[in-house]
Amino acid sequence: MGKHERGWVEATEKLTAQLANGAEPDADLEEQGRPDLAEALADRLRSDFPDLTAVRHAGNSYDSLGDLIVESADGETFVEAKFVASGGTRANLGQDTLTQFELFEGATAWSDFREEIGFPEDREALLREFDDYPDDVRDWSYKSAVYDRAKHLKNVLDVSRGQNTGSRADEVLADPDATETEREAARIVNAILDLDREEKLAYFDHLRAADQNPRNVETFAHLIVCGYHTADALEEHFDDDLDEIKRLLEADAYRLYEVNKNSGTVSVENPSELLAGFDWQDTRVEIPEDGTSVSVVTGSPDDRRRVLNVAYNWKNKFQGIQTPSMNVFVPEA
């Protein structure tokens, strides 16, 4: 989270505590934060905890779990507040997260693996096969040359907003009226998609051969489910908070609230319920033979359960082009 975003988020959290307590909101916090979101979250907290006696802001040292602490007759409940643009994805993390936090011991990071097998050079060679780029994207001295060329290929294919680029390429190749330029663009796009998939499968072979650290895998799963969705938050909590999080979950004293920044709607999750029934035996990352996602699984051999799904993904243009990352999802119950 950037410094600017952290600033308005912290101000909104503090406003939430003031409003939930019925106090007069601080004018500076109203200017720095989002009073509308603070009011929405405060209303939800008052509804969910009708006997609350106070709400405290936990501060932003990573020594505490949660952003807010709700005090009631039943004790303290720690609340992690998330202000999100949309739902669905539990977390968008850096491409090397699983090796950075040593879920795999001694494994090569995904970014380094691509360099080692020559993926960037192979991708560039495919992009160079297209002969009809505009003049402003021909100069390979620009760092954005790959991105600009991929964008142009999408324009040639007339990929509509939200449409899968590979699906559109297949449509063009099946269209008898498509031009040769369109067909060439479609062929190159598909070749890059195939190259990307082959590279991911090769990387999964590499990960499959590496030893795993079950404690780190379990810690990662707990922190993600409990709302720690950035590399900084994971790093600050990774070494010493697993037992404390387990204690809070066992005491049913932890909640994750998500506030939609656009609509102001508030949803709540109880990690205790999400993780109910997991016995945390043989916790590990399960890697499929054919696929571009992995899963965190746990349990006895006759009752294996998925905790998280982790997709290796490229955010921009299309797969294999720009912004490699990891999307993390909690499987549907």
pLDDT in tens, 39-86: 999 999 999 999 999 999 987 555 557 789 999 988 888 888 888 876
Indicate the range of 128-132, 148-152, 214-218, 234-238 predicted with least confidence: 234-238
Q: Look at residue 286 in the predicted model and tell me its pLDDT.
A: 94
Indicate the range of 197-201, 253-257, 321-325 predicted with least confidence: 253-257
- Of the candidates 40, 26, 30, which has an alpha carbon nearest to the alpha carbon of residue 8? 30
Q: Contact at 8 Å (CB) between 223 and 241?
A: yes
Q: Contact at 8 Å (CB) between 67 and 80?
A: yes
The C-alpha angle with vertex 294 and arms to 114 and 192, in degrees rounded to 5, equals 40
- Between 133 and 245, the more confident residue is 133
The neighbouring-strand residues paired with 51 are none
**Mean pLDDT along residues 301-330:** 91
In the numeric block, the tokens 């010493």 are attached to 240
Residue 174 three-state SS: helix
pLDDT in tens, 255-303: 889 899 999 999 888 888 888 778 888 899 999 888 889 999 998 888 8
Q: For residues 81 and 73, what is the distance between their CA atoms, to the nearest angstrom?
A: 22
